[in-house]
Amino acid sequence: MLKNINLICISFKSIFLYRNSMTFSSEFIINTPKGPRKIGVGYPCFIVAELSANHGGELSKALEVVEAAAKAGADAIKVQTYTADSLTLNSDKEAFIVKNKDNPEEWKGQTLYSLYEKAYTPWDWHAILKKRAEELGLVFFSTPFSLKDADKLATLDVPMYKVASYEATDIPLLKQVAAKDKPIIMSVGFASEEEIDYSVKVLEDVGCKDLVILHCVTAYSRNPDYHQLNLSTMWDIHHKYNVISGFSDNNGGIKVPIQAAIMGAAIIEKHVVASREDAVLDKNFSIDMEEFAEMVKQIRLAEQISGKVVYGCQNEKEEQNKKYRRSLWAAKEIMEGEIFSSENVRVVRPSIGGLEPKYYELVLGKIAARRIEFAEPITEEDVVDFQIAKNNYVSGISFRKAEEKDCKNLFDWRCDPVTDSFSPGLAPTFEGHKDWFAKSLVNSNREILIIENNDLNSLGTVRFDVMPKHESLIQGKKIVVISININPAFRGRGVGKKSLNLAINYARDNLAVNIIQADIMPDNSVSVKLFKSSGFYQYFKDIDNPNKELLSFLYLCDLE
């Protein structure tokens, strides 16, 4: 799909055409020792215990961590698959010496090669650890650090692969891992937006469908600076790249991963150590099993509190109290034939039997159909011609194609002062409008629709103009430009929102379009809000000139 998108998508990297056309799944299933497990937004957080170098070079210690992680409630144990030779060169030149002032003391002064020689997990442990993990119900997977490491992991049939932050820009490795046709979890600590853009595109081009991107802060601190964690990036990743997102925590403490889970992290990865007393390389930024168990407990509690999406009454007690909402009541005795007014109708509690408050303004000025006592609810039957008034006020809508008889209405709506103030160019003369309208009715690249309600009142108009191919943003894709103008007499009643949603479906079903474009004056905040709320994304034609005359908004129907 992305092969059909030209370079314009790169010049304004935030445009949805590039990122929102990505084909990654919003959830995926892996087979676990406990059965199939869904990972994605809305499912329980998948909690990963990271062994890293906390085995101290002893298989027994590694097994101890696996067993403790299972007992503490982890969903998975993750290891790291590498040798010193697959990560670096055996050199003692200055560039290869670990000496950052904030690095763990256990690392400082060592060459990268010597550090990794101590930290690596021997390959012959992998099958042993995997077997024990699965006996305990844990998922076992790993982070490969070279092409050979990825191939070796494939022989163990791991259910997914992890890519470390340091390797998120290692394009050959990304291609190798993506070719395994398994879900990929990629940390992106250090990576800029441009680097993530490129890496994500590489994974997609190779065929990756199931991708999780983890926001990652790699300070390796026992006491992290909360101001530097920026967990909002995690959710931004989810929206920008249309992927599942989560958090990889390379710091001590449990407050931050709990907060990340509350914010919607689908996966949490946390470094663990069997005991704080262990002499292991990564203990400075790892948590012990008591802390890990508490973290799992708090995350699961937060999930219970978050619950599921439920609108309306949440329980039986709320259902009982619902009657104390408001409705329309007679504030004084109302005689048959009397006009409803703010003096004799009030919106008060309770809501037993009366009309909903949304009908208050509709009822005002209408005629009472019977005598209504004080403190009696006002119902539909109490209002003369209520159904007719209701249809005119909040009716369903439909489209019909414009006809010659509609010419004058369209002219009047276009010349309305509000419409004119938000329209580019000068208002037309009636003669000029008639000529334009006549030509429009026979123009195969233009379709004008009239918005009607159930009583066949004309509520406004929707126009579609097919964009010439040479002006199309994406070669070979059909784009129509939409214009909506509501009859001034029906503004403020939700007609615009209903009409736009209906127009989107109409264009998709009847015009076979790929993209719908709307051009709006910058100061027309009402229209901007309307189109954004209906799924349109702002498109910057010229990112260096944001103050152009019109703002363009795009709705993606289909790029296949």
User: Which one, of 116, 124, 131, 98, lies nearest residue 52 by Cα?
Assistant: 116
Question: The domain that contains 277 carries what CATH number?
Answer: 3.20.20.70
Token couple for 379: 């119902």
479 pLDDT above the threshold of 70: yes
Amino acid 391: pLDDT: 57
Given 377, 392, 407, which residue is the final one in a domain? 392
Amino acid 343: pLDDT: 96
pLDDT greater at residue 430 or residue 470:
430
Per-residue pLDDT reduced to its tens digit, 106-128: 788 889 999 999 999 999 999 99
Of 93-102, 126-135, 247-256, 302-311, give the range with the top mean pLDDT.
126-135
Amino acid 469: pLDDT: 63
Both 357 and 243 in one domain: the answer is no
Amino acid 476: pLDDT: 67
Amino acid 219: pLDDT: 76
Both 548 and 449 in one domain: the answer is yes
518 pLDDT above the threshold of 70: yes
How far is Cα 479 from Cα 536, in angstroms, rounded to an integer?
14
Amino acid 548: pLDDT: 54
Amino acid 105: pLDDT: 74
Degrees to nearest 5, angle at CA 49 with 237 and 174: 50
Q: Is the peptide bond before 350 cis (omega within 30 degrees of 0)?
A: yes
pLDDT greater at residue 498 or residue 13:
498
Alpha-carbon distance values, 513 to 474, 508, 530 (Å): 12, 6, 21
Amino acid 276: pLDDT: 85
Number of domains in the chain: 3
Q: How many CA atoms lie within 13 A of 61 on its CB side?
A: 18
551 pLDDT above the threshold of 70: yes
CB 340 within 8 A of CB 325: no
pLDDT greater at residue 318 or residue 104:
318
558 pLDDT above the threshold of 90: no
Given 392, 408, 434, which residue is the final one in a domain? 392
Both 413 and 522 in one domain: the answer is yes
How far is Cα 519 from Cα 511, in angstroms, rounded to an integer?
19
What is the mean pLDDT of the segment spanning 323-342? Answer: 96
Both 152 and 268 in one domain: the answer is yes
Amino acid 559: pLDDT: 56
The answer to whether residue 105 is domain-embedded is no
Per-residue pLDDT reduced to its tens digit, 481-490: 999 999 998 8
Amino acid 312: pLDDT: 93
Token couple for 383: 């209002």
Both 322 and 442 in one domain: the answer is no
Both 415 and 552 in one domain: the answer is yes
Both 477 and 528 in one domain: the answer is yes
Residue 403: pLDDT band (50, 70, 90) is very high
Residue 392: pLDDT band (50, 70, 90) is low
What is the mean pLDDT of the segment spanning 424-449? Answer: 93
Both 177 and 51 in one domain: the answer is yes
How far is Cα 383 from Cα 101, in angstroms, rounded to an integer?
79
494 pLDDT above the threshold of 90: no
Q: What is the percent of the chain with per-residue pLDDT over 90, rounded to a whole number?
A: 71
Both 371 and 429 in one domain: the answer is no
What is the mean pLDDT of the segment spanning 330-337? Answer: 97
Residue 509: pLDDT band (50, 70, 90) is confident
The interaxial angle of helices 495-510 and 525-533, nearest 10 deg, is 50
Q: Which of 204-218, 250-264, 274-288, 460-474 has the least mean pLDDT?
A: 460-474
Dihedral sign computed on CA atoms, order 343, 348, 353, 356: positive
Both 139 and 265 in one domain: the answer is yes
Helix (H) / strand (E) element for 67: namely helix 59-72
User: Which one, of 300, 302, 296, lies nearest residue 49 by Cα?
Assistant: 296
104 pLDDT above the threshold of 60: yes
Given 392, 408, 431, which residue is the final one in a domain? 392
Per-residue pLDDT reduced to its tens digit, 34-84: 999 999 998 999 999 999 999 999 999 999 999 999 999 999 999 999 999
pLDDT greater at residue 393 or residue 196:
196
Query: CA 223: distance to chain centroid?
Result: 31
Amino acid 177: pLDDT: 98
The answer to whether residue 381 is domain-embedded is yes
Amino acid 279: pLDDT: 82
The answer to whether residue 99 is domain-embedded is no
Both 273 and 347 in one domain: the answer is no
The answer to whether residue 200 is domain-embedded is yes
Amino acid 394: pLDDT: 46
Per-residue pLDDT reduced to its tens digit, 213-228: 999 988 778 888 899 8
Per-residue pLDDT reduced to its tens digit, 18-37: 454 557 989 999 999 999 99
The answer to whether residue 3 is domain-embedded is no
CB 464 within 8 A of CB 510: no
Question: The domain that contains 518 carries what CATH number?
Answer: 3.40.630.30
Both 124 and 208 in one domain: the answer is yes
Helix (H) / strand (E) element for 174: namely helix 171-178
Amino acid 10: pLDDT: 33
Amino acid 455: pLDDT: 65
The answer to whether residue 20 is domain-embedded is no
Question: Residue 456 belongs to what domain range?
Answer: 397-556
- What's the mean per-residue pLDDT of the chain? 89
Question: The domain that contains 378 carries what CATH number?
Answer: 3.90.1210.10
2 pLDDT above the threshold of 80: no
The answer to whether residue 14 is domain-embedded is no
Amino acid 545: pLDDT: 41
pLDDT greater at residue 390 or residue 403:
403
The answer to whether residue 336 is domain-embedded is yes
**The 3-state secondary structure of 295-362, one letter per residue:** HHHHHHHHHHHHCCCCCCCCCHHHHHHHHHCCEEEECCCECCCCECCCCCEEEECCCCCCCCHHHHHH
DSSP state of 265: -
396 pLDDT above the threshold of 70: no
